[in-house]
Amino acid sequence: MKYEKLATDIIKNVGGKENVNSLTHCITRLRFKLKDESKANTEVLKKMDGVVTVVKSGGQYQVVIGNHVPDVYADVVAIGGFQTEGGDGQESNEKKSLFNSFIDVISGVFAPTLGVLAATGMIKGFNALFVALNIITNTSGTYQVLNAIGDSLFYFFPIFLGFTAAKKFNANQFIGMALGAVLVYPALNKLTAAPPLYTLFGGTVIESSVQLTFLGIPVILMDYSSSVIPIVLSVYIAAKVEKFFKKVIPDVVKTFLVPFCTLLIVAPLALIVIGPVATWAGKLLGTATLAIYNLSPVIAGIFLGGFWQVFVIFGLHWGLIPIAINNLTLLHYDTILAVVLGASFAQTGVVLAILCKTKNTKLKSLAIPAFISGIFGVTEPAIYGITLPRKRPFTLSCIAAGIGGGMIGLMGTKGYMIGGLGIFAFPSYISPEGMDKGFYGAIIGVIVSFVLGFLFMFFSGFKDEEEGEKKNEKSVEKLIKQEVIVSPLKGEVKELSQVKDEAFSSGALGKGIAIEPAEGKIIAPVDGVLTTFFPTGHALGITSNSGAEILIHIGMDTVQLNGKYFSPKAKQGDVIKAGDVLLEFDIKAIKGEGYSLTTPIIVTNSDNYLDIVETDKKAVDYKDDLLVVMI
């Protein structure tokens, strides 16, 4: 594994694999949902080589890695034994606000699709570009094939969202896909052209024709291709219905009866109620968005363009992406993502100026790949590695992006598909009629954002901060102190999870490690006080001079020997030094009685520390480093 050490350190510092509820990744970030974020060592992660920074937003603990995040993700999944693009199905102990829950659901449903959605959008965009440049015609076979590839995912979007939504809501993913397929079923869609049986809600804004009924109930048929809201709501309800049937249907027939009952209830409900209501709500949302934009496209562009990077940092952009997709579905164009097009280029312009001015070798090594990534629309390395920590560059990039966004709004630029990022985004702004004012407005807005970002930064009095960076590193090192606990035994090292006692293996008593002893002797692992020494001799407790409370438990169930074969060499209350002999025991005799001698050494007050780092050795001798307590 290329990133084995980095992956291991990340898992350890997010609180261990037992603290991870689920794990996904996007273009540059590992997105953890942790059961308890307080157990994560955020400052340690931020200073780790290979980690750009850590962001906590929308109920997610986001470790920003960079462009190679898929490779790191693969190693983290392999080492941690996590489910791919998912979790263990357990609920997090963290209580999230309603807004954070909304952002978490939206990102969980849409994030897995965005890579392929952007890829197919790029294909469709370049197809439009080829037609506009007269390279091919829109009647040629080449155009038709490329258009099929470009349209495929977005046309059948409800099926794909049915899968991701089911995964997010812990439902059967094939039920989610089946519900999406029902919504775009061709035979039903064809019926919309048939003469209506009658009309509902005549004379209102939701006047609808009825072409068929289900058990006498009118079904309002709509075009659900490319839609988003109806399927997400349908799957959410399906998850509840499925959960109910899992409880009441016998195990022997659950495999087919649970999906049978769930689909039979939710699919008609989706067509009769959920779909129409959600579509009307979507139209209202699209109309409201357009009305706000039309009040002043320039102000809308300045606001969204200027704050887009801030939205991305806090995960708030996930609330706008579904609105943009909804606009594309219902209006066949979108203005929200259009006015933020210049944001990544403004950031990239600022980074280029820093690259030109800095003499700091480390900063240059960060700026070069950040600039290249920014050209292609991936700005996290630039934001978290360069501009945001220095504050002024980030602020200047936001100002430049706001001005560029205002220009794009002034030119009336519209996006006609979800396409690529950075320079690959331009084909998405080609109108079905060809390159119009809006397309050229997108190019002008991007150039303005990039140039202003560069000029603002270049002439802002930028100073290298090499000395300040070194001081910051030293101050962080001072904050993180360590106490080393040496091995009290000689023998084979085992993970605590291998101990055949749930109180130890679960970590309920604290973090630590276990040793299979090769010699019958216990020495003091630290300087401190022997605070507890059980009369039976099988267990002892030590408090180090730094406050670490250490429990050494010799074997499993050895308390039943009632002190037989144990010879204490110290007494409770003694002040001890690391290396002092505390106890001797007869390995052969104890094993002869049928007892396991696997010995856990744990820090019982682990929650008071940043982390407890175990040795990576397979075997240890007396006084070898065993545990490192991060204070």
Q: Are 602 and 510 in contact, with CB atoms under 8 Å apart?
A: yes
Q: Are residues 510 and 578 in the same domain?
A: yes
**The pLDDT of residue 474 is above 50:** no
Task: Tell me how far apart the alpha carbons of residues 59 and 73 are, in angstroms, rounded to a whole number.
Answer: 19
Per-residue pLDDT tens for 237-277?
Answer: 999 999 999 999 988 898 899 999 999 999 999 999 998 99
261 is catalytic: no
**The pLDDT of residue 363 is above 90:** no
CA 336 to chain CA mean position, Å = 24
- What was the pLDDT predicted at 318? 67
Q: Are residues 583 and 504 in the same domain?
A: yes
For the full predicted model, state whether its pTM sits above 0.85: no
The mean pLDDT value for 54-59 works out to 73
Helices 297-313 and 392-410, axial angle in degrees (round to 10): 140
Pairing of strands 521-523, 217-219: unpaired
**The pLDDT of residue 423 is above 70:** yes
Q: Is residue 115 in a domain? A: no
Domain CATH for 505: 2.70.70.10
The mean pLDDT value for 382-402 works out to 88
**Number of Cβ atoms within 10 Å of the Cβ of 132:** 16
Q: Is residue 278 in a domain? A: yes
Q: Are residues 162 and 196 in the same domain?
A: yes
Q: Which of 230, 265, 292 is the last residue of a domain?
A: 292
Q: Which of 76, 96, 116 is the last residue of a domain?
A: 96
Q: Are residues 620 and 557 in the same domain?
A: yes
Q: Is the dihedral of CA 90, 94, 96, 102 positive or negative?
A: negative
Q: Please report which confidence band the pLDDT of residue 553 belongs to, taking 50, 70 and 90 as the band edges.
A: very high
Q: Which of 257, 292, 327 is the last residue of a domain?
A: 292
Q: Is residue 173 in a domain? A: yes
Domain CATH for 14: 3.30.1360.60
The mean pLDDT value for 120-141 works out to 87
Reference 631, options 528, 551, 552, 548; nearest CA is: 548
Q: Are residues 362 and 462 in the same domain?
A: yes
Q: Is residue 139 in a domain? A: no
Residue from 26, 261, 356, 398 carrying the catalytic annotation:
26
- What was the pLDDT predicted at 98? 61
Q: Are residues 213 and 225 in the same domain?
A: yes
Q: Are residues 20 and 50 in the same domain?
A: yes
**Number of Cβ atoms within 10 Å of the Cβ of 495:** 11
**The pLDDT of residue 580 is above 80:** yes
**The pLDDT of residue 124 is above 80:** yes
Q: Is the dihedral of CA 277, 282, 288, 290 positive or negative?
A: negative
Q: Is residue 128 in a domain? A: no
Q: Are residues 200 and 302 in the same domain?
A: no
The mean pLDDT value for 576-602 works out to 93
The mean pLDDT value for 610-624 works out to 88
Q: Are 525 and 485 in contact, with CB atoms under 8 Å apart?
A: yes
| pLDDT, the chain, mean | 86
Expressed as residue numbers, the domain containing 70 is: 4-96
Conformational region of residue 557, where left means phi above 0, alpha means psi within -120 to 50, and beta covers everything else: left
Q: Are residues 87 and 11 in the same domain?
A: yes
Q: Is residue 141 in a domain? A: no
- What was the pLDDT predicted at 464? 66
The mean pLDDT value for 217-232 works out to 87
Q: Are residues 587 and 506 in the same domain?
A: yes
Q: What per-residue string of b and e applies to 580-615 under the rule 16 or more CB within 10 Å gives b?
A: bebbebebeebeeeebebbbbbbbbebeebbbbbbb
- What was the pLDDT predicted at 95? 52
The mean pLDDT value for 212-233 works out to 88
Angle at CA 233, nearest 5°, toward 227 and 235? 100
Q: Are residues 223 and 357 in the same domain?
A: no
Structural domain count of the chain: 4
Q: Is residue 208 in a domain? A: yes
Angle at CA 79, nearest 5°, toward 508 and 488? 50
Q: Are residues 391 and 534 in the same domain?
A: no
- What was the pLDDT predicted at 588? 93
